[in-house]
Amino acid sequence: MMMASEKESAGMWGGRLRKRCERGLLAPLQVCKDPALDTWKLYLVDWGYNTAKERQRAAANPRIQLLDVAQFADLLTGARAT
């Protein structure tokens, strides 16, 4: 879950898009519930300890994008604008 200080800092970015990658589904789902955090682009990596059911649930959420290893690497290097 996002801490209060993170919520406060979200307002300091002037509405610019911020990115958050997670390996678990709970945090992105919590961010989705808070309209003050709508400027966050949310990603769930498709490896690690998340389950197939969690990945399906994330894929059904329009605010969460699933990433494979190559897409994650591209995101880190700025190779793709997503």
77 three-class SS: helix
19 three-class SS: strand
Domain coverage including residue 28: 17-77
Cα–Cα dist 40/15, whole Å? 9
In a domain, 31, yes or no: yes
In a domain, 12, yes or no: no
Give the pLDDT mean for 63-70: 95
In a domain, 2, yes or no: no
In a domain, 1, yes or no: no
Give the pLDDT mean for 51-68: 95
In a domain, 35, yes or no: yes
7 three-class SS: helix
Cα–Cα dist 55/73, whole Å? 19
Q: What is the mean pLDDT of the chain?
A: 82
pLDDT surpassing 70 at residue 40: yes
Answer with the residue of higher pLDDT: 71 or 8. 71
pLDDT at 16: 63
In a domain, 9, yes or no: no
pLDDT surpassing 90 at residue 80: no
Question: What domain count does the chain have?
Answer: 1
In a domain, 3, yes or no: no
pLDDT surpassing 50 at residue 5: no
In a domain, 70, yes or no: yes
